Amino acid sequence: MEPLTILVLVVILGALIFDFCNGWNDSANAIATVVSTRVLTPAQAILLAAALNFAGAFAGQAVAKTIATKILEPSVIQALPPIAGQVLVLSAVLSAAIWVAGVTRLGMPVSGSHSLIGGLIGAGLALTGSGAIKMAGVEKVLLALLLSPLFGLLIGYFLMTGIYWLCKKWTNRMVQKAFGKLQIVSVSWMAFEHGHNDAQKAMGVITMALVAAGWQDGADLHVQWWVILICGAAMAIGTAAGGWRVIRTVGGGLLKLRPVQGFAAETSASIVLMGAASIGLPVSTTHTITSSIMGVGATQRLSAVRWGVGGKILWAWIFTFPATIFVGWGLYRVLEPMFRGMHS
């Protein structure tokens, strides 16, 4: 099989399917709260989120460059035979896509960032052992993935507390009316930042594939315009498909939401996502919005949050990393000899 054919497979079967699955699962992150509070209908929310996911994909390249350069060593990837490098990328994104799609079918929100990084590490281990893995970069990204839920929870808690204090003399009708309108703003911001952070992950792996194929210089890791376009479109289509079981889990499984709480949760998550994307850290939109909802709910009373549902989500997160490392490793071991045989 020719290297160009494998590159096309990487782009279509790997990165774009991963981006679609990521949008499919993460549609809940952007719209679950606004649907559960009935501020927007499901159709309105999905169209809004898909459009702003697409727009957010054009907002920057810092996260894409982190994925392309900070997890695996670019010089090692570029020095590989073109087929080996591209099969590595294909194995990583297929591992992430399989995991995200499977967990979405079970109705659980899961981290696309964890899934992709696990797949990259697994495929890298299968190729060169630990030689291709940049541990300093992995540790930095993992620290961000761990801290982003904590920041989401704390910001959600304090923002909701501040809203309660500012609106303590308002009637319930005034609060719901005002924040029903404000939630349209917050969900729009959330959807934009989702595209800003998450669409760049697929951009990063496609750029890795282009470097491995010799179509792009490893020293020039800008994301080409057509890569941004197709990744933004794939995520928007995935969001439009809507992972409805995940939406029900996030929107109502953790906490019975009202518009004011939806506004606080979305705003808190958007602050974390914007900060992370601006410094090139791929964080989990799922982790961030879920923990923000928990932080908002904890301002009422701890029993307001359905911690049992939160525990199930936590287990899905815990298993994500080892599962995708194993699948990424296994896929590379299977696919690399197969593609090499076709080429020869």
Q: Which residue has the tokens 């570029």?
A: 78
Question: CA-to-CA distance for 204 and 206, rounded, in angstroms?
Answer: 6
Q: Report which residue type is found at 161.
A: T
In terms of Cβ atoms closer than 10 Å to its own Cβ (0-12, 13-18, 19+), residue 281 is buried
- Per the structure, the complete domain to which residue 67 belongs is given by 3-343
Considering only 37-41, 52-56, 299-303, which range has the smallest mean pLDDT? 299-303
Q: What is the mean pLDDT of residues 114-136?
A: 86
Number of domains, the chain: 1
Q: What local confidence, expressed as pLDDT, does residue 252 receive?
A: 47
Angle formed at CA 103 by CA 99 and CA 105, multiple of 5 degrees: 120
pLDDT band of residue 220 (cuts 50, 70, 90) is low
Considering only 70-84, 130-144, 147-161, which range has the smallest mean pLDDT? 70-84
Top pLDDT among 154 and 69 is at 154
Q: What is the mean pLDDT of the chain?
A: 80
pLDDT digits (tens, 9 = 90+) for 154-194: 999 999 999 989 998 898 888 888 988 898 899 899 889 98
pLDDT digits (tens, 9 = 90+) for 304-336: 455 555 566 667 677 888 999 999 999 999 988
Q: What local confidence, expressed as pLDDT, does residue 206 receive?
A: 87
Q: Is the pLDDT of residue 224 over 70?
A: yes
Backbone angles phi, psi at 214, to 5 degrees: 80, 15
What sign does the dihedral 202-204-207-213 (CA atoms) show? negative
Number of H helices, E strands in the chain: 14, 0
Taking residue 304's Cβ as centre, other Cβ atoms within 10 Å add up to 16
How far CA 66 is from CA of 153, 204, 259, 333, in Å, comes to 25, 7, 35, 25
**1, two tokens:** 């099989």
The answer to whether 57 touches 318, Cβ cutoff 8 Å, is no
Question: CA-to-CA distance for 213 and 216, rounded, in angstroms?
Answer: 8
Note the pTM of the prediction, 2 decimals.
Answer: 0.83
Q: What local confidence, expressed as pLDDT, does residue 254 receive?
A: 45
Top pLDDT among 124 and 215 is at 124
Q: Is the pLDDT of residue 251 over 50?
A: no
